[in-house]
Amino acid sequence: MRILLTNDDGIQAEGLLALKRAVESLGEVFVVAPDRPRSASGHSITLHKPLRLHKTKLADGSTAYSTNGTPADCVTLGRGVVMEEKCDLVISGINPDANLGWDTSYSGTVSAAAEAAVLGVRAFAISVASIHEAPVIANFETAGEVARNLIIQFGQHEIPKNVLLNVNVPNVAFNDIKGIQITRQGSRQYTDRLITRTDPWGHPYYWLGGSLLPERALDGTDVYAVQSGYVSITPIHLDLTAYVLLDAMRDWVAKE
């Protein structure tokens, strides 16, 4: 199996190296990642400047490639250039923070896997999901073991075309995982998203951020599963159509 690894945290991110170490015995592994952190870049691609690939070394001395592009660009370059379009699986991660609910709309980690799905390659994104907002040390070993086991499942089961998996792993030791739940996407909303400050010259500037709104997670969602100590695996389809509205909206435009 030929496996492409990428992320949105940059080529030297600890989670990327942990992922490589966890899965490298299962196939031929290639690593292509951004040359700097690109978190929350979403599913953006680079059209306004040339893309560059640079051969580099990871902390373990192994060969990898960095690029000035986005996480989605990494998948395109990794599959098309580095792997010469011979790619069986793309894994994006391991992200040190959760990608749950509506966070997936912003996530560069998830979007890299989505780009693989666009290209017709099986893919999953994997993140360490803490239930706490404060920065904590991410347990990459647990997530690496989950990724390894999921690759084995990929070898035994088919994934529909244009579907990716979003995996969130509780930030605990592997033996403390309660199990795996197949989930739907939950919701996560933030308050105080825009912070205004003033620079030394009296000019305003802004930070985007915010804190999670306290909401009760619904059973069956990715948020609920992680809060309950389970690995959450959510299948995501590239088709964003709100089918529930199709018939109603046809009535809006129906001719009398």
Task: Copy the structure tokens of residue 138.
Answer: 């991410």
Query: How many domains does the structure of the chain reveal?
Result: 1
- pLDDT of amino acid 135: 55
> How much is the pLDDT for 214?
57
Q: Return the CATH number at 149.
A: 3.40.1210.10
Residue 58, in any domain of the structure: yes
Does residue 138 form part of some domain?
Answer: yes
* Strand-pair category, 53-57 with 63-67: antiparallel
Q: Which pLDDT belongs to residue 77?
A: 97
Per-residue pLDDT of the chain (256 residues; tens, 9 = 90+): 999 999 999 999 999 999 999 999 999 999 999 999 998 889 999 999 999 999 999 999 999 999 999 999 999 999 999 999 999 999 998 999 999 988 898 899 999 999 999 999 999 999 998 765 545 688 999 999 999 999 999 888 888 989 999 999 999 999 999 999 999 998 766 656 678 889 899 898 887 765 665 566 778 999 999 999 999 999 999 999 999 899 888 888 876 5
List the Cα angle 20/108/216 in 5-degree steps. Answer: 105
Distances in Å between the Cα of 7 and the Cα atoms of 95, 148, 150, 221, 230 are 7, 16, 18, 24, 23
For residue 164, the model assigns a pLDDT of 96
59 falls within a domain: yes
| The residue to which tokens 């989505």 are assigned | 114
DSSP 68: S
Give the Cα separation of 207 and 196 in Å (integer): 7
Q: Rounded to an integer, what is the distance from CA 55 to the centroid of its chain? A: 23
Query: What is the 3-class SS of 159-175, one letter each residue?
Result: CCCCEEEEEEEECCCHH
Per DSSP, 26 falls in state G
Smallest CA-to-CA distance from 215 within 85, 100, 113 is with 100
- Residue at 195 is within a domain: no
> Is residue 246 in some structural domain?
yes
Verdict on whether the full-model pTM lies above 0.85: yes
Q: At 43, is the secondary structure helix, strand, or coil?
A: coil
Q: What is the pLDDT of residue 256?
A: 53
**208 part of a folded domain:** no
Confidence (pLDDT) at 138: 86
Domain that holds residue 132: 2-188+217-253
Domain-located, residue 199: no
Q: Is residue 209 part of a domain?
A: no
